[in-house]
Amino acid sequence: MRQVWITRRGGPEVLEVREAPDPQPGPGQVRIRVRAAGVNFADVMARVGMYPDAPPLPCVLGYEVSGEIDRPIDRAGEKVLAMTRFGGQSELVCVPAAAVLPIPDALSYAEAASIPVVWLTAWHMLVELGNLRRAQTVLIHAAAGGVGTAAVQICKKFGATAIGTASAPKHERLRELGLAHAIDYRKVDFEAEVKRITAGRGVDIALDPVGTFRKSFRCLAPVGKLMMYGASATVSGEKRNLFAAVTAVLKMRWFHPLQLLPDNKGLFGVNLGHLWGETGLLLRELREVLKGFEAGEFKAVVDMEVPFAEARRAHERLQARENFGKVVLVP
């Protein structure tokens, strides 16, 4: 089989397609012939050496796949999606049989592979941790990304008002998904704009994958919650931005636990990879997400499908923040 490997730390040129022996399913496992595999910003972070949870290099990443079961024979042909701890960017993967779910009829393989990581992340932050309710207001940074486009639609489902940051060319498409207010973070100060939109009250939940935690915290209303799930601003060009990384760490000292007491606000750190052992929780949440797709409430937003041989293009597009929705690899 073929796999996409990160051969060493560096730019997109370090990605290579390599041959490997076909894996054989163990007890309680099924083997999936992969038709599409998701690409996430965590892949970019791993490639530049800023994702400590990644396997030692060289390695194969990939946290979600869609395809058909080909082993065992009695389940051959079933169309499924699954999360993979790593190694999903392969033509064949073996996963626990209990961890695969059927693909809703209306979804393509690419759409199915675009769902698990970003939709689970958005659902977990907004619904599981955030207790999202009707008439609340949510600030979504990187609203045009995979998690962002999912979060916008979840807010719409629950009757919440979504405020999103994104470059201006992406605003109209975000409004079509349900975004109420779009902020061009390149031209205006998002903190001031959030205060203007909310008449000074602030937002009930803020989702920040960028690393602007201090400003996002100041955007919170009383009893507000900040979800911190990344620091994409620490990656620039083809390399990690050490200055930005150090700055982000230093700013974190500002969040002293005692300061949260009078503010009546909460901070959550979110890393889906660290919930890998909570299979029951993740599958329960993923089933709820898939119900939304089956009911026509949600739309999978696939930015582009990229062949394994051109995996560099996928990384380049994500790192340049050019994508709208999810980028997927196809064998």
Any idea where the domains of the chain sit in the sequence?
A: 2-115+300-330, 118-273
Determine the Cα–Cα distance for residues 292 and 178; give it in Å rounded to an integer. 15
Question: What sign results for the dihedral spanned by CA atoms 34, 35, 40, 43?
Answer: positive
State the pLDDT confidence band at 247, using cuts at 50, 70 and 90. Answer: low
What lies within 8 Å, CB to CB, of 158 at 6+ separation is: 126, 127, 132, 133, 134, 136
Q: Which of 94-103, 150-159, 252-261 has the lowest mean pLDDT?
A: 252-261
- Secondary structure class of 36 (helix, strand, coil): strand
Q: Does domain 2-115+300-330 sit in CATH 1.10.150.20?
A: no
Amino acid at site 134: R
State the pLDDT confidence band at 263, using cuts at 50, 70 and 90. Answer: confident
Determine the Cα–Cα distance for residues 180 and 137; give it in Å rounded to an integer. 10
Q: What are phi and psi of 118, to 5 degrees?
A: -75, -40
Determine the Cα–Cα distance for residues 63 and 314; give it in Å rounded to an integer. 15
Whether pTM exceeds 0.85:
yes
Tokens of 293: 């797709």
Residues facing residue 64 across a β-bridge: 83
State the pLDDT confidence band at 314, using cuts at 50, 70 and 90. Answer: very high
Give me the CATH topology for the region 118-273: Rossmann fold (3.40.50)
Q: Which of 115-119, 208-212, 234-238, 284-288 has the lowest mean pLDDT?
A: 234-238
| Average confidence score pLDDT of the chain | 93
Most confident of 105-109, 248-252, 254-258, 260-264: 105-109
pLDDT of residue 254: 59
CA distances from 296 to 177, 215, 293 (A): 13, 35, 5
Determine the Cα–Cα distance for residues 55 and 273; give it in Å rounded to an integer. 12
Do the Cβ atoms of 202 and 224 come closer than 8 Å?
yes
pLDDT tens, residue by residue, 16-26: 999 999 999 99
Do the Cβ atoms of 115 and 281 come closer than 8 Å?
no
Which residue reads 């939304």 in tokens? 292
Average pLDDT over residues 218-223: 96
Q: Enter the DSSP assignment of 129.
A: I
Burial zone of 180 (CB within 10 Å; 0-12 exposed, 13-18 middle, 19+ buried): middle
Do the Cβ atoms of 69 and 32 come closer than 8 Å?
yes
pLDDT of residue 251: 53
pLDDT of residue 252: 53
Amino acid at site 216: S
Could you count the other beta carbons within 10 Å of the beta carbon of residue 129?
A: 15
- Secondary structure class of 177 (helix, strand, coil): helix
Could you count the other beta carbons within 10 Å of the beta carbon of residue 74?
A: 7
pLDDT of residue 195: 98
Average pLDDT over residues 45-52: 92
Q: Which of 95-99, 182-186, 229-233 has the lowest mean pLDDT?
A: 229-233
Where residue 159 falls (left for φ over 0; alpha for ψ -120 to 50; beta otherwise) is left
pLDDT of residue 167: 97
Per-residue pLDDT at 152 exceeds 70: yes
pLDDT of residue 101: 98
